[in-house]
C-alpha cells in the first residue's frame, strides 16, 4: 500500500522507491544528493482492539495499539510535502520499517539491506499518550532503555515432594533465581544506570505432590546505560550458574540481546528542536524523561547520529490510554502535528548540513 501510494504521489517527481527484502518494508528517496533519513515503524501488535471506533482493526487479535499506523501515515504525508517542494538542499530518505515490536527489531534487517547507506542523520518519533496534542518532547542523551530477554529452562529427575533430598527440587531452584538474580544484578552494576530485571512468566509442574521435571522462567532485563547494556550478558550467565549450582538442577539459559538505548546526540537534537519550533511555534517544544521501554530505532544510532521525539497524542480531556492496550486511541490532530514536525526537522537538518 505504501509503495502504491507513493507511486501516485511522486509520479512526476524524482523519487526512487525500493522495497526491502523482507515483508512489508520499504524506503523512498525524495529529491537528490546525500542527506538525512526519516523513519516510521509499521507493524501492529497481537492485541484485540477494544476502542469501538469506525476505523478499528478488521483483523481479530491484531491491532495498532502502539500508534505505528499513525507513524506511517505521518511519514507518508511528510514525504508528499517534501516531494512537492520546488527544491530541496539534499536528499530525504523515508524508511518504512516493519517488525519494531519483535526483538531484536526489524531495524537490523533494514540496516543490513542498506537503508543507511549515504545517510548523514536519521530522525524518528513515537506517539506519547502522556503529552497533549501540540507538544513534542525531545531529550539529549538516552530517551529509551536497552531491553534484553531472558529464557531460563530447568530440568530435574523429578520425584515425590515427600523426598526432595532424593531429587533436585526444581521449583525451589526457580524461586532461588526469581528472588536472587535481580538482587545479584543490582549489586554488580552502577545503581544510577536504571538497570532492572523483572520476571514476566514462570511455569513448572501441575501436581501439588510431585517435583516437576521441567520448568521455564521468562523475563526482561532493562538498563538506561549503553555501557552497562554491553556487559549485561557476561554478568547474567555466571550469576545464574552460581545460584543454581547448589540445587542440582540442570539448566539452559537463552539470553536474547534485544535493543540498545536510543541515544540522541546534541547536534541532531538541536536540528529536531528547531524543526519542532518551526512547525509548532512557542509552547510546542518540551522536555521528556527517559523511558524504560525499548525501541529498535536505537540500532540506527549505532551507525549514524540522530534523534528521536515523543509526539503528544492526548486530547487533553479523556483518559490517557497507555500504549499496548486494546483501548489505546490518539487525537487525530496529532497526525498534522507529526507531519509538520517531520517536514521541518528534515529541512532543519538539511540546512544545517550545508552550513
CA distance 101 to 95: 16
CA distance 95 to 78: 12
Under 8 Å CB-to-CB from 293, ≥6 apart: which residues?
Answer: 144, 145, 147
Pairing of strands 159-160, 210-211: antiparallel
Under 8 Å CB-to-CB from 74, ≥6 apart: which residues?
Answer: 40, 125, 311, 335, 338, 339, 342
CA distance 259 to 229: 9
Strands (E), 25-108: 26-30, 35-41, 91-97
Q: Is 18 annotated as a binding residue?
A: no
Cβ 316 vs Cβ 56: under 8 Å: no
What are phi and psi for residue 136, nearest 5 degrees?
-135, 125
The DSSP secondary structure of 119-163, one letter per residue, reads: EEEEEEEEEEEEEETT-EEE-SEESS-EEEEEEEEEE---EETT-
Distance of CA 92 to the CA centre of its chain: 22
CA distance 97 to 233: 27
Q: Is 203 annotated as a binding residue?
A: no
The DSSP secondary structure of 173-221, one letter per residue, reads: HHHHHHHHHHHHHHTTS-GGG--EEEEEEEEE-S-TTEE-SEEEEEEEE
Q: Is 101 annotated as a binding residue?
A: yes
Cβ 76 vs Cβ 134: under 8 Å: no
Q: Is 246 helix (H, G, I), strand (E, B) or coil?
A: helix
Known binding-site residue numbers: 66, 68, 101, 126, 324
Known binding-site residue numbers for Mn(2+): 66, 68, 101, 126, 324
Amino acid at each position: 500500500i505504501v509503495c502504491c501510494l507513493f507511486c501516485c504521489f511522486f509520479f512526476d517527481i524524482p523519487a526512487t522507491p525500493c522495497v526491502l527484502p523482507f515483508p512489508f518494508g520499504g524506503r523512498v528517496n525524495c529529491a537528490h544528493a546525500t542527506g538525512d533519513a526519516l523513519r516510521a515503524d509499521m507493524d501492529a501488535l497481537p492485541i484485540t482492539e477494544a476502542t469501538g471506533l469506525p476505523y478499528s482493526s478488521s483483523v481479530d487479535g491484531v491491532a495498532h495499539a502502539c500508534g505505528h499506523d499513525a507513524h506511517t501515515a505521518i511519514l507518508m504525508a511528510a514525504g508528499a510535502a517534501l516531494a512537492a517542494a520546488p527544491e530541496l538542499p539534499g536528499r530525504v530518505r523515508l524508511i518504512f520499517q516493519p517488525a519494531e515490536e519483535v526483538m531484536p527489531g526489524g531495524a537490523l534487517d533494514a540496516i543490513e539491506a542498506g537503508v543507511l547507506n549515504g545517510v548523514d542523520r536519521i530522525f524518528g518519533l513515537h506517539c506519547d499518550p502522556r503529552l497533549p496534542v501540540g507538544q513534542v518532547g525531545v531529550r539529549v542523551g538516552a530517551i529509551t532503555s536497552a531491553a534484553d530477554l531472558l529464557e531460563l529452562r530447568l530440568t530435574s529427575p523429578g520425584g515425590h515432594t515427600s523426598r526432595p533430598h532424593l531429587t533436585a527440587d526444581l521449583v525451589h531452584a526457580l524461586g532461588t533465581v526469581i528472588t536472587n538474580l535481580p538482587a545479584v544484578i543490582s549489586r554488580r552494576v552502577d545503581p544510577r544506570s536504571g538497570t532492572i530485571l523483572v520476571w514476566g512468566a514462570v511455569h513448572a509442574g501441575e501436581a501439588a505432590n510431585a517435583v516437576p521435571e521441567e520448568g521455564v522462567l521468562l523475563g526482561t532485563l532493562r538498563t538506561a546505560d549503553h555501557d552497562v547494556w554491553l556487559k549485561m550478558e557476561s554478568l547474567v550467565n555466571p550469576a545464574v550458574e552460581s545460584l543454581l549450582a547448589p540445587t542440582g538442577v540442570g539448566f539452559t539459559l537463552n539470553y536474547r540481546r534485544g535493543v540498545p538505548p536510543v541515544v540522541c546526540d546534541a547536534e541532531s537534537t538541536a536540528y529536531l528542536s528547531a524543526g519542532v519550533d518551526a512547525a509548532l511555534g512557542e509552547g510546542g517544544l518540551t522536555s521528556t524523561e527517559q523511558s524504560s521501554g525499548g525501541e529498535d530505532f536505537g540500532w540506527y544510532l549505532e551507525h549514524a547520529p540522530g534523534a528521536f521525539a515523543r509526539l503528544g497524542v492526548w486530547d487533553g480531556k479523556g483518559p490517557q490510554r497507555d500504549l499496548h492496550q486494546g483501548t489505546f486511541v490518539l487525537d487525530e490532530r496529532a497526525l498534522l502535528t507529526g507531519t509538520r514536525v517531520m517536514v521541518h526537522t528534515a529541512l532543519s537538518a538539511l540546512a544545517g548540513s550545508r552550513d
